[in-house]
């Protein structure tokens, strides 16, 4: 599957040359990995001439774009310590925070049944039904009075295409700002970085907007745009075992972190026993190479430290296990190891 950009027509027109058969599915799960797996399964299941609207929610999740570095986008260790989950989607674009105050939508279709202009019109019309002046902004956002309430992204698998996005209804913006602040550590990385925008919750503009009422409005606007009532998707079209297999892939460390492009991480400090500067090369979510510079007299320990880090999983727990396995031979080495552990734990 490949990510791609889409251009949209100006919203407002309701006439479309190729109105598809509308189908909809509302997820009962707030598990991000299952929802992304279901979305991918829907892409494969789309029939000619139909468009599927999938509505879903994730609880306490940061979703990054396919080409993003999670360590540059969010405070991973802090977020995971607070029970959050990191997920990587199939489309490009920036990082977003999901909680149950956010409603996600997905449009899946193939061929001429796929029409981003229609999808954006459906989304805006649903919000406009609450008396709010929803407008498309640029290629990928929707705003009310200049504040963003929806971000959109796209991917395709051969002739099958997917357009999905967020709808901020009552999101905890304090958590959004807290967790999506990029880490302060020195990372030299390639990849797509998120663009921060002024955001707004729709419920703050009209208290009648809830996940339930907006879901109903979306299905109604979808039906109107297609000129026929949208019908629920037959659950038998999705194989549960297949979705579980897909879920396992999206929940794996290899998918979430291993897909990150190679990057470098530099850190260091001065301790009572000497200076320590560490340069790490990260590839596939693991430390491929560690260069360590120090003015400490015990050069043998520094060499052992470097060797112990190479091949470690690049996270606080992975590095901690590797350093704890490094047996100190003197009291000074024990102090040095403890200081190194503290340095990494504070940096993550």
CA–CA gap between residue 155 and residue 171 (Å, rounded): 25
Q: What is the pLDDT of residues 252-297, one digit of tens each?
A: 999 999 888 898 999 999 999 999 999 999 998 999 999 999 988 8
Q: Which helix (H) or strand (E) element contains residue 273?
A: none
Average pLDDT rounded to a whole number, residues 54-69: 95
**Rounded alpha-carbon distances, angstroms, from residue 302 to 64, 177, 200, 286, 299:** 36, 39, 50, 20, 5
Count helices and strands (H / E) in the chain: 12, 16
Residue 187 reports pLDDT greater than 80: no
Please tell me the predicted confidence (pLDDT) of residue 19.
Answer: 81
Please tell me the predicted confidence (pLDDT) of residue 114.
Answer: 95
For 83, the token pair is 């029970």
Please tell me the predicted confidence (pLDDT) of residue 56.
Answer: 98
Instruction: Please state, rounded to an integer, the average pLDDT across all residues of the chain.
Output: 89
Please tell me the predicted confidence (pLDDT) of residue 137.
Answer: 87
Max CA distance (Å), the chain: 79
Residue 4 reports pLDDT greater than 60: no
pTM, whole model, 2 decimals? 0.83
Residue 277: exposure state from Cβ atoms within 10 A (0-12, 13-18, ≥19):
middle
Average pLDDT rounded to a whole number, residues 152-163: 92
CA–CA gap between residue 270 and residue 3 (Å, rounded): 44
Could you say which DSSP state residue 199 is in?
A: B
**Rounded alpha-carbon distances, angstroms, from residue 284 to 31, 32, 176, 259:** 24, 22, 27, 6
Count CB-CB contacts under 10 A for residue 107. Answer: 28
Average pLDDT rounded to a whole number, residues 193-219: 88
Q: Which residue has the higher pLDDT, 347 or 102?
A: 102
Please tell me the predicted confidence (pLDDT) of residue 40.
Answer: 97
Q: What share of the chain is helix, strand, coil (3-state, %, to 5)?
A: 35, 30, 35
pLDDT above 90 covers a percentage of the chain that reads 72
CA–CA gap between residue 47 and residue 86 (Å, rounded): 31
Residue 165 reports pLDDT greater than 60: yes
Please tell me the predicted confidence (pLDDT) of residue 118.
Answer: 95
For 68, the token pair is 């993003």
For 201, the token pair is 């919750």
Q: What is the pLDDT of residues 301-326, one digit of tens each?
A: 899 999 999 999 998 889 999 999 99
Residue 195 reports pLDDT greater than 60: no
pLDDT above 70 covers a percentage of the chain that reads 90
DSSP 87-142: EE-SS-S--EEE-TTEEEEEEEEEGGG--HHHHHHHHHHHHHTTT--EEEETTTEE
Average pLDDT rounded to a whole number, residues 37-44: 97
Count CB-CB contacts under 10 A for residue 95. Answer: 24
Average pLDDT rounded to a whole number, residues 327-347: 90
């Amino acid at each position: 599957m490949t990510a791609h950009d889409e251009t949209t027509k100006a919203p407002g027109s309701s006439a479309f040359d190729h109105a598809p058969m509308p189908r909809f599915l509302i997820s009962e799960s707030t598990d991000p990995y299952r929802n992304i797996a279901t979305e991918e399964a829907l892409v494969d299941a789309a029939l000619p001439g139909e468009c599927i609207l999938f509505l879903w929610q994730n609880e306490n999740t940061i979703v990054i774009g396919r080409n993003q570095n999670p360590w540059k986008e969010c405070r991973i260790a802090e977020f995971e310590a607070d029970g959050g989950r990191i997920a990587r989607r199939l489309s490009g674009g920036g990082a977003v925070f999901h909680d149950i105050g956010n409603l996600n939508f997905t449009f899946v279709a193939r061929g001429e049944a796929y029409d981003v202009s229609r999808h954006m019109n459906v989304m805006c019309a649903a919000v406009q039904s609450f008396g709010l002046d929803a407008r498309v902004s640029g290629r990928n956002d929707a705003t009310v009075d200049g504040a963003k309430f929806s971000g959109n992204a796209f991917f395709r698998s051969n002739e099958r295409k997917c357009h999905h996005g967020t709808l901020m209804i009552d999101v905890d913006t304090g958590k959004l700002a807290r967790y999506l602040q990029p880490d302060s550590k020195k990372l030299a990385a390639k990849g797509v970085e998120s663009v921060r925008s002024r955001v707004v919750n729709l419920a703050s503009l009209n208290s009648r907007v809830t996940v339930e009422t907006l879901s109903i409005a979306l299905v109604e606007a979808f039906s109107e745009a297609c000129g026929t009532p949208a019908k629920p998707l037959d659950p038998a079209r999705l194989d549960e075992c297949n979705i579980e297999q897909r879920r396992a892939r999206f929940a794996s460390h290899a998918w979430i972190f291993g897909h990150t492009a190679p990057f470098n991480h530099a850190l260091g400090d001065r301790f009572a026993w000497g200076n320590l500067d560490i340069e790490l090369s990260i590839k596939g979510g693991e430390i491929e190479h560690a260069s360590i510079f120090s003015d400490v007299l015990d050069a043998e320990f520094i060499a052992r430290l470097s060797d112990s880090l190479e091949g470690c999983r690049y996270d606080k727990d992975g590095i901690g296990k590797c350093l704890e396995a490094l047996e100190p031979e003197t009291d000074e080495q024990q102090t040095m190891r403890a200081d190194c552990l503290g340095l990494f734990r504070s940096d993550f």
